[in-house]
Amino acid sequence: MFLLSPANAGGERMALVLSARARFALARAVQGEGAPIGEVFRFASGLYFRGKLAYALAFARPPAGVPGALVIAPGAGLVPSDAPVRATDLRAFASIPVDAREPRFRAPLERDARLLAEAVGDEGEVVLLGSVASPKYVEPLLAILGARLLFPPDFVGRGDMSRGGLLLRAVRAGAELPYGPVAGAVLHGPRPPRLAPLRGARALDAPARPRRPDAARRRG
């Protein structure tokens, strides 16, 4: 199971989607019948969310009947990446701060985290694809999921663009990153070497067959 941290619902690229003058397909869908939240956030966030979404869809192995990729949506909790959202939903997201001290954000997140904890059971693994250095969503998730909440330690020291590139490379190679528990993790570290340019990254609609890391995965 993967949890994807949210895109900025009040940013400039989201404003393009919400503009009444916009004529591109995604904007028309958002202002009409709705478009998948994963696709909308991918457009709004660029490389980072694109990498998170592609990675989650490639490597999720959820229990039967449970979505493998859930997006943290302000005020709506954990939303399946293919769930349709409309302009009114996006404006509602933008009105709620992503902050653990904000009840409108925290209560729905905790509600859905409890349901997720029940669905995955004691042995399930829930991987957060997002920053673990800030308590804004880590604190409520960790309180409920505990040792089941994991993250890629390779994220430490990287910026958003570098994380997105790292995830897209993993999808292309069909090689899942190693994970470690969020609880007690080192959250800050030196910046890793810059990744080589990722060429042809848009041709990732048919990734290589996923394989698990060679090293044993760390469990909480």
Domain region containing 21: 2-181
Over residues 77-112, the pLDDT tens digits come to 999 999 999 999 999 999 999 999 999 999 999 999
Residue 48 counted as domain residue: yes
| Residue 218: pLDDT band with limits 50, 70, 90 | very low
Q: Quote the pLDDT of residue 50.
A: 94
- Residue 131 domain-assigned? yes
Q: Decide if 47 is inside a domain.
A: yes
What pTM value is reported for the model? 0.84
Look at residue 22 and tell me whether its pLDDT is greater than 90.
no
Average pLDDT over residues 46-63: 93
Buried b (16+ CB within 10 A) or exposed e, 188-214: eeeeeeeeeebeebeebeebeebeeee
More confident residue, 138 or 157: 138
Region 60-66 average pLDDT: 90
Residue 194 lies in a domain: no
pLDDT at 200: 54
Task: Give the separation between CA 155 and CA 188, rounded to whole angstroms.
Answer: 9
Q: What is the pLDDT of residue 193?
A: 56
Q: Say yes or no to pLDDT of 219 above 70.
A: no
Higher pLDDT, 49 or 216: 49
Q: What is the pLDDT of residue 83?
A: 97
Q: Is residue 199 part of a domain?
A: no
Q: What is the pLDDT of residues 183-217, one digit of tens each?
A: 976 665 556 556 555 555 444 433 333 444 443 34
**Residues 172-186 pLDDT 10s:** 999 999 999 999 766
The answer to whether position 98 is within a domain reads yes
Q: Do the domain assignments include residue 205?
A: no
Task: Give the total number of structural domains in the chain.
Answer: 1
Confidence of residue 158 (pLDDT cuts 50, 70, 90): confident
In the chain, DSSP assigns E strands to 2-4, 35-36, 69-73, 77-80, 84-85, 126-129, 149-151, 180-181
Please answer whether residues 208 and 172 qualify as being in contact, where contact means their C-beta atoms are separated by less than 8 angstroms. yes
Would you say 137 and 98 are in contact if contact means Cβ atoms under 8 Å apart? Answer: yes
In the chain, the largest separation of any two C-alpha atoms, in whole Å, equals: 52
212 occurs within a structural domain: no
Of 8-17, 155-164, 169-178, which one has max mean pLDDT?
169-178
Above 50 in pLDDT, residue 28?
yes
- The dihedral through the CA atoms of 35, 3, 172, 49 has a sign that is positive
